[in-house]
Amino acid sequence: MTLGDKLNKLKIRAELKPYLYLGLTLCMVLLFYKVVTNIGVLMDSIREGISFVVGIFKPLFWGLILFYFLIRPVKFLDKKFLRIGFFRKHVKYSRIISILLIYFCLFFLVYLVLLFILPQIWQSIRIIISGIPSYIRKVEDIITKLHLEQYINYFVENSSVTKSSQGAASSQGIGDLLSTLLGEENLTIQDTLTYLIESVIGVGNKLFRLILSLFLSIYLLLDSEVLGRQIISAVKSIISKETYRKWTKTLGLMDETFYKFFIGKIYCSIFVASFVFVGLILLKVPHSSLISLIILVLNIIPYFGPIVGGAIGVLITLFNSPNKVVWVLGLVILAGQLEDNLLGPKVLGNQIGLKPFWIMISVIIGGEIFGIGGMFLAVPTFAILKVFIVEWMTKRNA
């Protein structure tokens, strides 16, 4: 090939280069447009994929969760036992006894909940369900007194749910529809037997998975050091020392952020629920156990959880003891203030480091993508992303 031919090729490449970049840019724009316009389908696919993987490895998944939250108390007890002369010579026994003590405390706590708290909650749920007709009448009376009938009717007539179900339920009332669905003519002996067999199989599968998860967690707790050394040795043989150091720092940051956040939120939620429970008992508010449980669970969700939990508690009190609503509202607000200004800073510290705006955004995004679980995981995940982004920007500006 002559020098002239080479120069011609280089000239052609130089002329085609802008068009190549233009084509790549158009492809990227089209790809971005497709992703944005089909974001709902993409999120559904991601959720289905995660659900499929989690379903397969569910026993291992729950075993790892138990291991993650129990390894620290197990190691704490292990260190205490190793101070005794006998356990210094028999190290394995100290770990076994530590695991047994932790699981005994865990099962004893579950037993107390099932024995004392769960029956009260179940009784409250039954009373609330049986009282739904009276609650509806009370709401109708309030709407009538405030002259809100036209606004409610307009909302119902123009809602998408009403329009979609209008044809199905227009010819019969809700009571008739339920009677048709639950009618005896639709329920045969074969259907009943099939339902019972499927229920027994489902309970058996869940019980088997629970036992398997427990055994996996116990195995991980027993041999955590050995497994850790094996994993570290395998990772070091694959990646470089610099990459290993960076990943160790990253995983350490993730571990510290997640663990401190969840343990801190659990402590704060237990404090708030206990405080509210004692106050409700002193005020003699009905369904105090159920209200306290709702506040305990929802309080773990940052920002929105305490508001929703308190609102549900006030609403339950409004239907059952209207004269005590103001007291319950004040009690919930006081518990929230104690958590935010006294307990929260001491227990949670500043490891999250997110402003309220970013907490709201993270909870909304996590809830939209992954539901309730996403709302729990959103804040520590955003906190970790914030640290990475700040480090990246610092390096770029250095």
Residues 132-169: tens digit of each pLDDT: 777 777 777 777 777 666 666 666 566 544 444 444 44
Per-residue pLDDT, 14: 65
Cα(175)–Cα(191) distance, integer angstroms: 23
Per-residue pLDDT, 191: 62
Whether the Cβ atoms of residue 378 and residue 385 lie closer than 8 Å to each other: no
Secondary structure letter of residue 354 according to DSSP: -
Per-residue pLDDT, 175: 45
Taking phi over 0 as left and psi of -120 to 50 as alpha, with beta for the rest, 287 belongs to left
Average pLDDT over residues 224-234: 86
Greater confidence (29 vs 346) lies with 29
Cβ-proximal residues to 267 (8 Å cutoff; 6+ apart), any chain: 343, 347
Cα(349)–Cα(343) distance, integer angstroms: 9
Rounded (to 5) percent helix, strand, coil in the chain: 90, 0, 10
Average pLDDT over residues 348-364: 65
- How does residue 367 score in pLDDT terms, banded at 50, 70 and 90? confident
Closest among 297, 302, 268, 295 to 379, alpha carbons compared? 302
Q: What tens digit of pLDDT does each residue of 288-300 get?
A: 888 888 888 888 8
Closest among 131, 351, 180 to 252, alpha carbons compared? 351
Per-residue pLDDT, 103: 92
Residue 101 confidence (pLDDT) above 90:
yes
Residue 59 confidence (pLDDT) above 70:
yes
Average of per-residue pLDDT values in the chain = 76
Q: For residue 166, what are its two tokens?
A: 């209008």
- How does residue 179 score in pLDDT terms, banded at 50, 70 and 90? very low
**Alpha-carbon distances of 263 from 16, 44, 380, rounded to whole Å:** 59, 31, 12
How is the chain split into domains, by residue range? 3-37, 58-132+173-223, 239-398
Average pLDDT over residues 187-208: 70
Residue 105 confidence (pLDDT) above 80:
yes
Residue 387 confidence (pLDDT) above 90:
no
Residue 32 confidence (pLDDT) above 80:
no
